[in-house]
């Protein structure tokens, strides 16, 4: 659903305003702005990875437009956990103002600071932990432990004079977590007893019935797959999934194999996790990639990125025979992750390519090698019954997930009109215990293309898709500036058109005739003549070949 809303009225004193700038109706680029009495608090600042129809794009950021003129009003950026869809946009925001304070757990900030170091930004960071309270401006913050697929995840309770909000970040309720760190339901219950005005909860698995399976059940499956593997083993996962890497290390040790970390982000993050004690392993289990060739292939497990089929990640490069690690008969590849919506085609292409190379590919579809990090419907119902929120605003999910989460809230007694299904850029005001949509602000996609941020537009992407799918035709002509007569040309060149150059012999007379007619009417302006050429060849190529290539005419008058 796309709906344009009017600009909201100026914010009144004592009213809490909530503006999602990303993460609503999508899995990624999570970012929410909270405002009261002219002070802004931000929760998360992540990236979204591009889809096939966005060629050349590296990542997609939340729209910072709403914040550009208000950077001095930002009193803090709370980071709920260390996944890219929650922290990946931080360097780009801090390039606008480096002094914005960052608040997060020890591991989250360590991941962020390593990323910021690559951008030559030194942040102002404040490490917080569960049970801690901090006051920033008109916001009193309480940090609450939640269980997720990365250690040290936090929910945040935001208390203001206008009311209280609980933002879960990403969470689930694994009752036997690998690190022993449970989602703090006692804190949830206490907040519910106080009275919760607005609950903003993770919606990713709201349409999945029951409860999310236990992480501990994955380890034995991975160990068994490795034990049955005769050649090298490659495990692909997110570079921040510390729990999964721990399970792979344990399985490798049990099978007398060494572990090779592959990919810059994987090496960086796991080194941080080791140094901070979130990852436990004897140092001699690790082998540097450069030295891996000195070990028998059946004694190695490669831990790499690329589980989502990203074209430049390690796994896709292996498929394209563009990596020093080669895959062949007898090798095993484990995709230890869920499919992020929108990545299905890319992932299946990688699986197909690996299978063609002779590998045994193990993934969530044929073995229990991954469980989600997000609460399923049963867990969300549990939370609603504990919290009894007055208002609900589902976040973090595509539209169907938001709707499913809203219906769960209604089943537990939240009135339909108090369930807000919103979109990025919609403005919600909380006052006197009532949350309602009061307008919208401009909120689009901010594309990162190499070193360019925000300059690539949807129109640019449309041109790229045309070039990729339909090809390119250029036409060059020199005309006499006095009488409009064609002196040189038309010379036609094509790329990715899949036709011989002589095919254009049919259209050259049409172009010459169209230019002669224009000259007879007194047209001498090169731009106007370029349009004549574009219309002529565009009509011809559409009728004769049913194609719509990009057409670039060049006319020089002399």
Say yes or no: 404 and 466 in one domain: no
Mean pLDDT score of the chain: 88
Residues 463, 350, single domain; the answer is no
Confidence at residue 210, expressed as pLDDT on a 0 to 100 scale: 95
From 450, 476, 503, give the residue that closes a domain: 450
Give the structural domain span for 138.
Answer: 16-210+372-450
- Domain identity same for 69 and 112: yes
Please report which helix (H) or strand (E) contains residue 60, including its range: strand 59-61
Pair 380, 439 in one domain: yes
Of 18-22, 292-296, 361-365, which range is least confident? 361-365
310, 343, 362: which is the final residue of a domain?
362
Structurally, the chain folds into a number of domains equal to 3
DSSP string computed for 119-185: TT----EEE--TT-EEEETTEEEEEEE-B-SSTT-EEEEEEETTEEEEE--S-B--SS-TTS----H
Identify the three-state secondary structure at position 494.
strand
Do both 143 and 234 map to the same domain? no
Domain endpoint, select from 450, 485, 520: 450
Find the mean pLDDT for residues 536-540.
82
- Residues 415-463 pLDDT 10s: 999 999 999 999 999 999 999 999 999 988 877 776 667 666 666 666 5
Residues 182 and 275 in one domain: no
Residue environment code for 208-219, b if the CB has 16+ CB neighbours within 10 A, otherwise e: beebbeebeebb
Instruction: Let me know whether 305 and 196 are in one domain.
Output: no
CATH code, domain carrying 536? 3.10.20.580
Q: 132-164 as b/e, with b when 16 or more CB fall inside 10 Å?
A: eebebbbbebbbbbbbbbbbbbbbbbbbbebbb
Q: Cβ neighbours of residue 245 under 8 Å, at least 6 residues apart?
A: 237, 270, 273, 279, 303
pLDDT, position 286: 95
Residue 179 — left, alpha, or beta (φ > 0 → left; ψ -120 to 50 → alpha)?
Answer: alpha
Q: Is the pLDDT of residue 287 over 70?
A: yes
pLDDT in tens, 30-77: 999 999 999 999 999 999 877 666 656 677 889 999 999 999 999 999
pLDDT tens, residue by residue, 379-428:
999 999 999 999 999 999 999 999 999 999 999 999 999 999 999 999 99
Q: Kindly report the CA angle at 242 between 241 and 246, in degrees rounded to 5? A: 120
DSSP E strands: which ranges in 351-453? 360-362, 391-392, 426-431, 434-440, 446-449, 452-453
498 pLDDT more than 60: no
Residues 96 and 164 in one domain: yes
Same domain, residue pair 389 and 343: no
- Name the residue with higher pLDDT: 107 or 481: 107
pLDDT for 423: 95
Residue 257 is assigned to a structural domain of this protein: yes
Q: The CATH number of the domain where 66 resides is what?
A: 3.60.15.10
Q: Tens digits of per-residue pLDDT, 77-100?
A: 999 999 999 999 999 999 999 999
Q: How many other C-beta atoms are found inside a 10 Å radius of the C-beta of residue 431?
A: 16
Cis? peptide before 490, omega within 30° of 0: yes
User: What average pLDDT does the segment 484-504 reach?
Assistant: 72
Helices then strands, counting H and E runs in the chain, come out as: 14, 25
Q: What are the phi and psi torsion angles at 62 (to 5°)?
A: -60, 160
Question: Residues 519, 523, 525, 530: is their CA dihedral positive or negative?
Answer: negative
The confidence score (pLDDT) of residue 2 equals: 47
Q: In the structure, what pLDDT confidence band is assigned to residue 133 with cuts at 50, 70 and 90? A: very high
Q: Average the pLDDT over 323-338 and give the result.
A: 87
Q: Is a pLDDT exceeding 70 seen at residue 497?
A: no
pLDDT confidence of residue 331: 92
What residue ranges in 2-52 does DSSP mark as E strands? 16-22, 31-36, 39-43
């Amino acid at each position: 659903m796309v709906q344009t809303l009017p600009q909201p009225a100026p914010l009144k004193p004592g009213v809490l305003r909530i503006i999602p700038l990303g993460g609503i109706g999508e899995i990624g680029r999570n970012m929410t702005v909270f405002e009261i009495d002219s002070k802004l608090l931000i929760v998360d600042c992540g990236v979204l990875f591009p889809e096939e129809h966005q060629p050349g794009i590296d990542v997609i950021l939340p729209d910072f437009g709403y914040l550009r003129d208000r950077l001095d009003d930002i009193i803090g950026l709370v980071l709920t956990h260390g996944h890219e869809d929650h922290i990946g946009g931080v360097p780009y925001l801090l390039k606008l103002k480096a002094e914005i304070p960052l608040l997060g757990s020890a591991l989250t900030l360590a991941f962020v600071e390593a990323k910021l170091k690559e951008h030559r930004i030194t942040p102002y960071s404040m490490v917080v932990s569960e049970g801690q309270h901090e006051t920033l401006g008109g916001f009193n913050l309480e940090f609450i432990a939640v269980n997720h697929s990365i250690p040290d995840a936090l929910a945040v309770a935001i208390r203001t004079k206008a009311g209280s909000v609980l933002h879960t970040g990403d969470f689930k309720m694994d009752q036997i977590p690998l690190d022993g760190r449970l989602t703090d339901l006692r804190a949830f219950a206490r907040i519910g007893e106080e009275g919760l005005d607005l609950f903003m909860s993770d919606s990713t698995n709201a349409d999945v019935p029951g409860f999310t399976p236990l992480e501990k059940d994955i380890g034995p499956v991975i160990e068994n797959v490795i034990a049955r593997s005769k050649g090298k083993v490659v495990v692909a996962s997110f570079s921040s999934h510390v729990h999964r890497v721990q399970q792979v290390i344990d399985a490798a040790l049990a099978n007398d194999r060494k572990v090779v970390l592959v990919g810059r982000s994987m090496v960086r993050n796991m080194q941080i996790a080791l140094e901070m004690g979130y990852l436990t392993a004897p140092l001699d289990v690790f082998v540097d990639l450069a030295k891996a060739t000195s070990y028998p292939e059946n004694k190695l497990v490669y831990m790499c990125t690329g589980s989502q089929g990203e074209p430049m990640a390690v796994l896709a490069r292996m498929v394209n025979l563009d990596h020093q690690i080669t895959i062949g008969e007898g090798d095993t590849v484990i995709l230890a992750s869920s499919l992020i919506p929108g990545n299905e085609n890319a992932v299946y292409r990688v699986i197909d390519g690996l299978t063609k190379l002779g590998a045994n590919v193990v993934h969530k579809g044929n073995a229990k090698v991954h469980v989600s990090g997000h609460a399923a419907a049963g867990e969300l119902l549990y939370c609603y019954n504990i919290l009894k929120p007055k208002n609900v605003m589902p976040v973090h999910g595509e539209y169907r997930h938001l709707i499913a989460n809203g219906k769960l809230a209604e089943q537990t007694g939240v009135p339909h009109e108090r369930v807000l299904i919103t979109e990025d850029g919609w403005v919600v005001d909380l006052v006197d215990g009532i949350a309602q949509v009061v307008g919208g602000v401009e909120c689009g996609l901010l594309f990162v293309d190499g070193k360019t941020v925000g300059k690539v537009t949807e129109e640019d992407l449309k041109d790229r898709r045309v070039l990729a799918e339909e090809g390119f035709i250029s036409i060059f002509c020199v005309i006499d500036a006095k009488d409009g007569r064609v002196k040189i040309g038309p010379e036609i060149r094509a790329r990715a058109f899949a036709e011989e150059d002589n095919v254009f012999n049919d259209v050259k007379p049409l172009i010459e005739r169209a230019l002669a007619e224009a000259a007879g009417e007194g047209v001498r302006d090169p731009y106007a003549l370029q349009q004549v050429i574009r219309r002529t060849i565009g009509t011809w190529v559409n009728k004769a070949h049913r194609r719509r290539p990009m057409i670039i005419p060049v006319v020089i008058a002399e």
